């Protein structure tokens, strides 16, 4: 059974997630190195300057509740867990593909053809609905 995310191109999602994670780690590491290498007065001056914030995505409903400091901490936490989550998603996809292959092996060729036709019809129906919604005056 597919979830509501089955239309997401996972390769793009994974690329965006990986980029955000690497950006967060890089910014955090650079900030630590800069602070350690500078004299105390230079470090204090740097704190007054606006540091480029780590980007990420807050969980639902958090945007209006958390402070900027909390937001940055949440982004760092998300970047720590991102590789593990990505690995689990890849494992889940592999298991799902294996399961689907076994299910398809049970079906007859006629049944597989009928399912392919039904999937194509549903895809066409979604495409038409999307075009209708995007049409002006709809």
Q: What pLDDT is stored for residue 70 in this prediction?
A: 92
Collapsing DSSP to helix, strand or coil, 113 comes out as helix
Closest C-alpha to 75, from 56, 97, 94: 56
Asked if residues 68 and 50 have their Cβ atoms less than 8 Å apart, the reply is: no
Helix count (H) and strand count (E) of the chain? 4, 0
Q: What pLDDT is stored for residue 59 in this prediction?
A: 86
Asked if residues 20 and 76 have their Cβ atoms less than 8 Å apart, the reply is: no
Neighbours of 6 (CB within 10 A): 8
Q: What pLDDT is stored for residue 58 in this prediction?
A: 87
Q: What pLDDT is stored for residue 48 in this prediction?
A: 46
Q: What pLDDT is stored for residue 136 in this prediction?
A: 76
Q: How far apart are CA 113 and CA 127, in angstroms?
A: 21
The mean pLDDT values, 10 residues at a time, for the chain of 138 residues are 53 64 65 55 53 73 90 92 96 97 96 96 96 80
């Amino acid at each position: 059974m597919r979830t509501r995310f089955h239309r997401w191109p996972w390769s793009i999602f994974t690329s965006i997630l990986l980029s955000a994670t690497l950006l967060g780690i890089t910014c955090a590491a650079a900030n630590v190195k800069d602070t350690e290498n500078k004299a105390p007065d230079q470090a204090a001056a740097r704190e007054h300057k606006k540091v480029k914030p780590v980007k990420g995505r807050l969980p639902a409903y958090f945007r209006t509740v958390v402070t900027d400091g909390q937001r940055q901490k949440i982004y760092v936490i998300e970047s720590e867990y991102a590789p593990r989550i990505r690995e689990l998603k890849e494992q889940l996809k592999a298991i799902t593909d294996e399961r689907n292959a076994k299910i398809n092996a049970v079906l007859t060729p006629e049944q597989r053809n009928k399912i392919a036709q039904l999937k194509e019809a549903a895809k066409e129906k979604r495409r038409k609905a999307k075009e209708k919604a995007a049409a002006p005056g709809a």
